[in-house]
Chains A and B, each alone.
Chain A
Amino acid sequence: MLPVGTGLPSGCTPTVTTQLTKCGGKLAAKLPHMHWPLLRGPNKGNRGGVERRRQEPVHIEEKEIGAKMWKARPEDNRPMTLSASQPAQPASTPVAASAPSIATPQKEPTRPVPDTRADVGHIGKSVVIRGELTGNEDLYLDGEIEGNINLRDHKLVIGPNGKIKATITARDVVVHGRVEGNLTASDRVELKRNCTLIGDVSTQRIVIEDGAFFKGAIDIKEHKEPKTEMRKPMASAAAAGSSSSMGSGATLSASAGSQGSFLDQK
């Protein structure tokens, strides 16, 4: 056993039990997380000093001590930290060996938030908007809108309390409430039970539940697949460019041209 107050030799890990046996066997059981440096100083080895410490609120001490304790024994902590706080991301965020991961025990492990919920804007039923509504995220609309709604590549859900008098443009539109106005969806329209739609619909796919009221025209657009059609000539042009070892400027300009038009369309 090492004498109290002397420095530890390198590689030697101080443990509470080894030091507390000097002060009394009972303490070893009551303060299992006691740290080595806390016993040093004027009261080192003094039973009274340790007794005073025992009268203090133990839970606070234990927190601090525990933190230091974990820091002193990182080899025990590391696997626990990784398995507890980052179960789904094994190697994306490297944990430093000296970083005390338990020093911030209050921090809750970051749970993955579902994107569907996070990216949906919400307009409540007491909201009234007159004018143009444009956005780059999905939208749930339960209020009253008069004007234009433009969510070009996103989904619009009109709630059961929604009253819309507007021209709507979106990728997907789901109607639970009442809509008066033309509706253009690049992908899909859903008319739910008890909804009312007065206006023309232009879409690729439409789903109408029994009990929906619809007055207007439906124009089903043909499904287009421009991306695959665009990629094929691009790939062939690129292949031609590489095989001709950049010899022909025509090939390069053609590929550049197709690239530009592809990006423009996107």
Chain B
Amino acid sequence: MSSGHNFARWFRGPSPGGPLERSATAPRTTRRCSGLSEFTRDLAGSEDLKPCVLDMGPTSPANISFLADRNLRIYNEDILRAAKDPSFLVRQEDGSLQLDAQKFFVENMNQPANQFEAILCWDTLDYLPEELVKPVVERIQTMLKPRGRLLALFHTKDAGSDSPYCRYHIVQPDTLELEPDPGFRIQRIFNNRHVENLFKDCASRKFFLGRDNLREVVVVR
């Protein structure tokens, strides 16, 4: 009876409200990431005994496990979530609320200079409030060691303004798992020139364009 019922579901599809339906609300997809592949390869060749890596995305057990397995010291700081903290908002003269960058940096990204060999920025810069973009990039460059690596992802114009924010989980050195998180909306779209301007003080920038309209950039300070 039950086996017949299960067999019939192959043709009918999952019943609405069932467990499959609930998991389908946040399907995870995997994608190849050439930028990550190069990033990890460079990291493996680091001369430090225990290189420090900053993950600027949400806490991901997969990422921590992946980095810890490579004998790396891991820092995790979800700045996008921190930027949503209402205590950083200041009311302007016209009555509007604006994020106070100075207040934000007292509690966030306050590590010493030249602390990290590598930083995983993901697509955070696409979703950050406008007031924080430039200061955050400046902080990143300060915290990175000379010759340190940064991996950032940027949505292209074709991705559209409704590109969902995703949490990135490292599955393999060249494979990412994307988990949509509906809590954030894309704020802007950077083109190649914008990205080059953002990291103009760095030694090199390498671009990889994926089929899913996601641009991967590996920046070397």
Contact = CB atoms under 8 A, between A and B. Distances in A.
B75 A216 contact: yes
Interface in A200-225: 206-210, 212-220
A213 B64 contact: no
Interface in A106-149: none
A208 B76 CA distance: 13
Contacts of A214: 59, 76
B61 A208 contact: yes
11 contacts: A208-B64, A212-B61, A213-B58, A214-B76, A215-B78, A217-B52, A218-B68, A218-B74, A218-B75, A219-B73, A220-B68
Contact of B61 (A210, A216, A219): A210
Interface in B21-78: 52, 58-59, 61, 64, 68, 71, 73-78
A219 to B, nearest CB: 6
A47 B71 CA distance: 95
Nearest to A219: B73
A212 B59 contact: yes
Interface of A: 191, 206-210, 212-220
A208 B61 CA distance: 5
Contact of B74 (A207, A209, A213, A217): A217
Contacts of B52: 217
B81 interface: yes
Q: Is the interface of B mostly helix, strand, loop or mixed?
A: mixed
Contacts of A218: 64, 68, 73-76
Contact of A209 (B61, B73, B81): B61
B73 A213 contact: no
Nearest to B71: A220
Contacts of B74: 217-218
Contacts of A213: 58-59, 78, 81
Contacts of B75: 216-218
B68 A215 contact: no
Of B52, B73, B82, most A-chain CB atoms within 10 Å: B73
B68 A206 contact: yes
Contacts, number: 38
Nearest to A222: B71
- Which 7 residue pairs across A and B have the least CB separation, nearest first? A208-B61, A214-B59, A218-B74, A217-B75, A220-B68, A214-B76, A215-B77
- Interface bin, chain B: 10 to 19
Contacts of B68: 206, 218, 220
A153 to B, nearest CB: 24
A89 B76 CA distance: 53
B169 to A, nearest CB: 9
Nearest to B59: A214
A215 B76 contact: yes
A222 to B, nearest CB: 9
A218 B82 CA distance: 19
Nearest to A207: B61
A213 B61 CA distance: 10
A219 B71 CA distance: 9
A216 to B, nearest CB: 7
Nearest to A210: B61
Contacts of A220: 68, 71
Nearest to A220: B68
A205 to B, nearest CB: 10
Contacts of B64: 206, 208, 218
Contacts of B76: 214-218
Contact of B73 (A206, A208, A217): A217
Contacts of B82: 215
A220 B71 CA distance: 8
Contacts of A219: 73
